[in-house]
């Protein structure tokens, strides 16, 4: 058991399946009281009933108040997990206005809005925990998905900003950055996902395991795929070599389509 989450009030957005459901199950197993949020109310209810949690359906950008009420007035841990992904960078180019707008709203602004609601109480109490499900795309990038890549960089940058700004006031922040995870979102990535993500894809439960190791070690950056650290270092220290390697993947993807 991780003492930091025992009897904690936890909110997990996008928890009707995939990584979110795995996080909700793990927090419940560790003794937390869990609000399960999803746009799909039936999915949220099913997971909540399974773990003895509370279902709160709705847009992840606007459920902090309802979730707080459901937990008796206090949120101790907020998992900003809800996300969207589009394959929008093929032959038609990178500009798909709808995918950019939705990606920005869900992948970045939902985190900002939640933090805005949560911070006053957390700073007054001197403690709180914000968990951001980012993606390795937020450290690196993803072929064929410009709006996903850019907004996941934004989500990671916001998590960094929260940590550097408020860690001395008791805020703990964790950014989870996996590569492929066997979820419906991975299935929807199409041929680009088949090429880049499927070969090393892991189960959602492995992501939850990685998060809890990170909580136990008080680590900001959570890498369920440890090799991402090497890719991230290469991107920073040898950007042209790294870009050439990614361009090789891009050309391989184009040839296979």
Q: pLDDT per residue over 135-151, tens digit each?
A: 999 999 998 899 999 99
pLDDT recorded at residue 88: 72
Q: Which two tokens stand for residue 144?
A: 């064929």
Domains and CATH numbers, the chain: 9-256 (3.40.50.720)
pLDDT at 99 over 60: yes
Catalytic residue (one of 148, 156, 231, 232): 148
Least confident of 21-25, 85-89, 162-166, 225-229: 85-89
Sheet holding 171-176, edge to edge: 54-57, 33-38, 9-12, 77-80, 128-133, 171-176, 221-222
Measure the CA–CA gap between 213 and 20, rounded to whole angstroms: 17
b/e map 35-57, b = 16+ CB within 10 Å: bbbbeeeebbbbbbeebebbbbb
161-189 per-position pLDDT tens digit: 999 999 999 999 999 999 999 888 877 77
Least confident of 10-19, 98-107, 178-187, 202-211: 178-187
CB burial of residue 105 (10 Å; 0-12, 13-18, 19+): middle
Confidence of residue 190 (pLDDT cuts 50, 70, 90): confident
pLDDT recorded at residue 92: 59
pLDDT recorded at residue 198: 81
pTM of the model: 0.94
pLDDT recorded at residue 223: 98
What does the radius of gyration of the chain's CA atoms come to, in whole angstroms? Answer: 18
**Integer angstrom CA distances of residue 138 from 77, 128, 223, 243, 250:** 22, 23, 12, 15, 18
Q: Quick check: is 231 catalytic?
A: no
């Amino acid at each position: 058991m991780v003492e930091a989450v025992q009897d904690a009030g936890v909110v997990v957005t996008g928890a009707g399946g995939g990584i979110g459901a795995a996080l909700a199950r793990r927090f419940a197993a560790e003794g937390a009281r869990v609000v399960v949020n999803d746009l799909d109310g039936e999915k949220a209810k099913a997971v909540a009933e399974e773990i003895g949690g509370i279902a709160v359906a709705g847009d992840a950008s606007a459920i902090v108040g309802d979730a707080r009420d459901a937990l008796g007035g206090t949120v101790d841990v907020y998992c900003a997990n809800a996300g969207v992904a589009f394959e929008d960078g093929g032959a038609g180019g990178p500009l798909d206005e709808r995918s950019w707008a939705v990606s920005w709203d869900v992948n970045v602004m939902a985190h900002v809005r939640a933090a805005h609601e949560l911070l006053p109480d957390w700073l007054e109490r001197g403690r709180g925990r914000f968990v951001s499900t980012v993606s390795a795309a937020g450290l690196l990038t993803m072929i064929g998905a410009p709006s996903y890549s850019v907004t996941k960089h934004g989500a990671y940058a916001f998590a960094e900003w929260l940590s550097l700004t408020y860690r001395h006031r008791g805020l703990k922040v964790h950014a989870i950055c996996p590569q492929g995870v066997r979820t419906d979102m991975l299935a929807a990535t199409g041929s680009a996902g088949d090429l880049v993500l499927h070969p090393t894809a892991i189960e959602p439960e492995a992501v939850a395991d990685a998060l809890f190791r990170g909580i136990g070690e008080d680590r900001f950056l959570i890498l369920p795929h440890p090799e991402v650290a090497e890719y991230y270092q290469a991107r920073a220290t040898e950007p042209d070599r790294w870009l050439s390697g990614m361009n090789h993947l891009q050309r391989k993807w184009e040839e296979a389509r």
